[in-house]
Structure 1
Amino acid sequence: MTTTHPPRSPEQRLRDTLDRLSDEVDAWVATASPDGTPCLVPLSFVWHGGTLLMATRRTNPTAVNVTPTGMIRVTLGPTRDVVLIEGEAEIIEGTDLPTASGDAFAAKLTWDPRKNSPWVYLRITPHTVRAWREVNELADRDLMRAGTWLVPPSSLSIADRSSLPS
């Protein structure tokens, strides 16, 4: 039997989402080839500067699929506590990555792809962020639209605001 929790406020969903982005290590990443062939893979990430940063081999389908359009979809969490992020990904060579971003990635994931030339970074800028647990949260699931957070940052604590892009 499934227990349905009462719906969270948008502020609580945003806090929970920021906690996930800060604490979780892996996400599901979906792209599509130019001919429409879907690709779904798990990748490790760091949330840094209001973007997701991931690494993959330059020749992997995920990196190849990102190149033409930049469109990408990322999900965190189980099916009954989902964070869905849609955005634009750009490929960044390790030598072109800002030092602070590479250091944040290496510190969180205890691995530094800057030292492995076949690897590239995907920097994902969210355009849409949705979070929901059950059907009772579907109506208010949008936390970001067109790159703008819908929950006013002033409604969050100082610690929570530090996870938001400026």
Structure 2
Amino acid sequence: MSDLEPPHPRTERKQNVLTRLRQDKDLWVATASAHDEPCLVPLSFVWDVQDGRIDKGTLLLCTRRNNPTARNLTPNGEVRISLGHTRDVVLIEGTAEKVEGSDLPKASADAFATKLAWDPRDQSAWVYLRITLRSVKAWREVNELPERVLMHDGEWLV
């Protein structure tokens, strides 16, 4: 007999992901160097909504420009991100681009500063990273693994 709750519908999991993107403050960012040396670090973030639609947005992070995370994102910008713990996983794959504080739209920089109580836009040692989501997977237990893919090629499937 199984102790697992029934699988949550994919629509509910999508809403849970969107809630976490709005409310969580930190996530794990995984990158690799040109020599395939992995790097995994926690960074704070804001879900930067586009066109007023909560399901359309990018992740906005910030790190020192000389940190391995920032250096590893060139030339192709591939990144993997994780939210949650092992019994409530959100796994995101995407493409990152570096954005200088002076080039960041004011609304985005203000949202970052407000949520995180920190405003690095005028500090030259720091660079923003804008992550465009390509894939989102979410699951809580093994019974949700078969339908864990919620986004593919940048499009929500639910």
TM-score category by the smaller chain? over 0.9
Task: Extract unaligned runs of 5+ from structure 2.
Answer: 50-56
Task: Extract unaligned runs of 5+ from structure 1.
Answer: 152-166
**1:122-147 per-position Cα deviation (integer Å, ceiling 9, x unaligned):** 00000000000111000110110000
In terms of fraction of residues, the more strand-rich structure is 2
Q: What count of residue pairs does the alignment treat as equivalent?
A: 150
Give the residue type in structure 1 aligned to 2:154.
Answer: G
What does residue 53 of structure 2 align with? Answer: none
What does residue 45 of structure 2 align with? Answer: 45
Cα offset, 1:3, TM superposition? 4.8
What does residue 26 of structure 1 align with? Answer: 26
- Residue 149 of structure 2: which of 129, 142, 152 is its match? 142
In terms of fraction of residues, the more helix-rich structure is 1
Percent identity of paired positions between Structure 1 and Structure 2: 62
Q: How large is the Cα RMSD of the aligned pairs?
A: 1.1
TM-score by length of 1: 0.88
Partner Cα distance (2:107, 2:80) in 1: 25
TM-score by length of 2: 0.93
**1:30-84 per-position Cα deviation (integer Å, ceiling 9, x unaligned):** 0000110000000000001210000000000000000211000000000110000
Give the residue type in structure 1 aligned to 2:117.
Answer: T
**Which of structure 1's runs of 4+ aligned residues deviate more than 6 A?**
none
What does residue 81 of structure 1 align with? Answer: 88
Cα offset, 1:4, TM superposition? 2.2
Partner Cα distance (1:60, 1:41) in 2: 10
Cα offset, 1:116, TM superposition? 1.3
